[in-house]
Amino acid sequence: MSTIAAISTPNAVGGIAVIRISGENALSVAKEIFNPFGDKNIDNMAGYTCAYGIAHDNGQRIDDCILTVFRAPHSYTGEDTVEISCHGGLFVSRKILRAALKNGAVTADAGEFTKRAFLNGKLDLTQAEAVMDVISAKGELELKMAENLREGAVFKAAKKCSNRLLKLLSGLAAWTDYPDEDIPEVEPEAILSELEAVRNDLSALTADYDRGRIVREGVATAIVGRPNVGKSTLFNCLSGCERSIVTDIAGTTRDVVEESVRLGDITLRLSDTAGIRETDDIIEGIGVDIAWKTVDSSELVLAVFDGSCPLTADDFELINKIKHKKCIAVVNKSDEKLVIDEQCLKEYFLHIVYISAKENQGIDDLEHAVKCIFEINSDSFSSVTAANERQKLCIEKAVESIENAIEAINFGEMLDAVNVLVDEAEQNLLELTGERITDAVVDEVFSRFCVGK
């Protein structure tokens, strides 16, 4: 494979920048663009050692740098790798990268360093996918999940099931391929018991998938209510800035304003919607229609009510339309005298929180309610779970094949048919771990990575 190079630090000014070079000619490329101080020779440097020197382009000095050598196979990619740490200016780092490209390296594709780690057997595919999860983690739970995957939790669980299926396949193959040999007959009851056990173990890998997705990707959340109940004030309170215009004039918000915010361990993808009411204003009416569509597509509804006023017909229209959604009744203006019919709200809502969006009060209670709805806590992801749709689909296909095999046994089908179905399940697990996978799938997985990783 070619020798690749890229800037591995963010595309921004910082204290340092790192240019990574990997491939069989990595040391040769580095030798052309870096002169160590003293009597050090890059060719003789051991792995995990550094040298201080000058990066240059055809003899023209660029910057004082630190060069670190990682020898194959004991490197991230499994290849000879060199990392050059320079001052963190955009121009400086790009100039060093250009010098590397002029001297034999080629630009790395997105995720190509981790792709090479996978191809060279340093990581299985699930571990490789977890690398980006670690990078993109925005909270403790996300990091905990990503680290669990990076340590090979999904691979180990899938491999255990795969080995059990292989044992079944070998027994079935021996019995069906050599009927005249003195081989013990395969008992359908024993196969059935083992398949059911494997199916249950695999199903457990997707049991917490939706909760994991919520932690990783956030919750599509609509803030709704009639005009002037404090929707935009709540939106701004959660956003930490003035994103929505707040006035005493009903109908100020006409369109949907969106923002992603952190609420404890959960990201809410907030949508502040137009006040819901009957109106003759054409533009405001369009805004109300959009608000209802936003409610329909949301995973969570924050239904905001004015605690200082009785419930109105518009409030009850909202209540009736969201009763089948995951929702929280947010009673705003708790710093004023409460007039709202609290008992009535309790008849419709399992979760009710009292806040003062203007005074930033009650937000902790809102966070607790969201966690309760989605059953998110520090122990939520102690078990192993699939990390993305690719992994989930592979597991679901394997489970489906196993269930078909179980059904075939129960209906008295020939064991040849069972053998084919068990083999299908095994192939899906090999695709999950990356032991049997097409180049197109590999390219798709790593295309989602950043350049330089």
- For CATH 3.40.50.300, the residue range(s) in the chain are 214-374
CATH topology of domain 214-374: Rossmann fold (3.40.50)
Query: Quick one: CATH architecture of 140-208+385-447?
Result: Up-down Bundle (1.20)
Q: What is the pLDDT of residue 380?
A: 54
State the amino acid at position 317 in one-letter form: E
Please list the alpha-helical segments (H only) found in 259-388. Answer: 282-297, 313-322, 342-348, 363-374
pLDDT of residue 245: 42
Between strands 327-332 and 300-306, the pairing is parallel
Q: What is the 3-state secondary structure (H, E, C) of 385-427?
A: CCCCHHHHHHHHHHHHHHHHHHHHHHCCCCHHHHHHHHHHHHH
All CATH 1.20.120.430 domain ranges of the chain, comma separated, are 140-208+385-447
CATH fold for domain 4-108 = Gyrase A; domain 2 (3.30.1360)
Distance CA 270, CA 291 (A): 12
The strand order across the sheet containing 219-224 reads 257-263, 266-272, 219-224, 300-306, 327-332, 352-354
From the list 198, 9, 203, the residue with the least C-alpha distance to 92 is: 9
Residue 81 is classified by DSSP as E
Instruction: Give every residue of the chain whose pLDDT is below 70, as ranges.
Output: 174-186, 241-256, 277, 279-281, 284, 377-383
- Spatial CB neighbours of 331, under 8 Å, sequence gap ≥ 6: 305, 307, 338, 340, 342, 345, 352, 353, 354, 355
Supply the pLDDT for residue 377.
64
- pLDDT tens digits, residue range 10-37? 988 999 999 999 999 999 999 999 999 9
DSSP 8-state assignment for residue 349: -
Domain with CATH 3.30.1360.120 in the chain: 4-108
Q: Where are the beta strands (DSSP E) in 78-119?
A: 81-88, 106-107
